[in-house]
Amino acid sequence: MDYDEALGVFYATRPDDTPVPEAVSGGGPARRLRDAVEPIAMHPVWSRLVNERLAGLGLDFLTGYVAGRGGPLGDTAPAVVAATFAWFDPPLVESLWTAAREAAPIADVLHERTQAIAESLGEVIGDDGVDEVAQTLREAVRGADAAGRPLFAALRAQPWPDAPAARLQRACDLVREHRSDSHIAAAIGSGRGSVEMNVLTELWLGMRLGEYTASRGFAEPVIEAAAERLRAEGLVEGAELSERGRAARAEIERRTDAMEHSVVDALGDQLDWLVARLDRWSGACIAAACFPPDPLKRAAG
For the stretch 227-267, pLDDT in tens is 999 999 999 999 999 999 999 999 999 999 999 999 999 99
β-partners of residue 235 are none
Q: What is the mean pLDDT of the chain?
A: 95
Is the pLDDT at 292 greater than 80? The verdict is yes
Please name which of 261, 148, 264, 255 lies closest in space to residue 197, comparing C-alpha atoms. 255
Query: Going by C-beta distance under 8 Å and a sequence separation of 6 or more, which residues neighbour residue 293?
Result: 11, 13, 286
Is the pLDDT at 301 greater than 90? The verdict is no
Please name which of 162, 159, 156 lies closest in space to residue 141, comparing C-alpha atoms. 156
Q: How far is CA 235 from the centre of its chain?
A: 25
Q: Report the pLDDT averaged over residues 113-130.
A: 96
Please name which of 281, 261, 295, 121 lies closest in space to residue 179, comparing C-alpha atoms. 261
- Contact status, residue 69 vs residue 57, Cβ threshold 8 Å: no
Give the DSSP H or E segment for 236. strand 236-237
Query: Going by C-beta distance under 8 Å and a sequence separation of 6 or more, which residues neighbour residue 58?
Result: 103, 104
Is the pLDDT at 201 greater than 80? The verdict is yes
How far apart (Å, rounded) are the C-alpha atoms in residues 146 and 90? 23
Residue 26 has what pLDDT?
A: 83
Query: Going by C-beta distance under 8 Å and a sequence separation of 6 or more, which residues neighbour residue 92?
Result: 216, 217
Return the number of other C-beta atoms located less than 10 Å from residue 103's C-beta.
Answer: 18
| Digit-coded pLDDT (tens) for 41-78 | 999 999 999 999 999 999 999 999 999 999 999 999 99
How far apart (Å, rounded) are the C-alpha atoms in residues 37 and 269? 17
- Contact status, residue 113 vs residue 50, Cβ threshold 8 Å: yes
- Contact status, residue 78 vs residue 22, Cβ threshold 8 Å: no
How far apart (Å, rounded) are the C-alpha atoms in residues 253 and 168? 26
pTM > 0.85: yes or no: yes
Residue 146 has what pLDDT?
A: 96
Please name which of 75, 76, 81, 80 lies closest in space to residue 62, comparing C-alpha atoms. 81
Query: Going by C-beta distance under 8 Å and a sequence separation of 6 or more, which residues neighbour residue 275?
Result: 32, 33, 36
Query: Going by C-beta distance under 8 Å and a sequence separation of 6 or more, which residues neighbour residue 96?
Result: 62, 63, 65, 66, 67
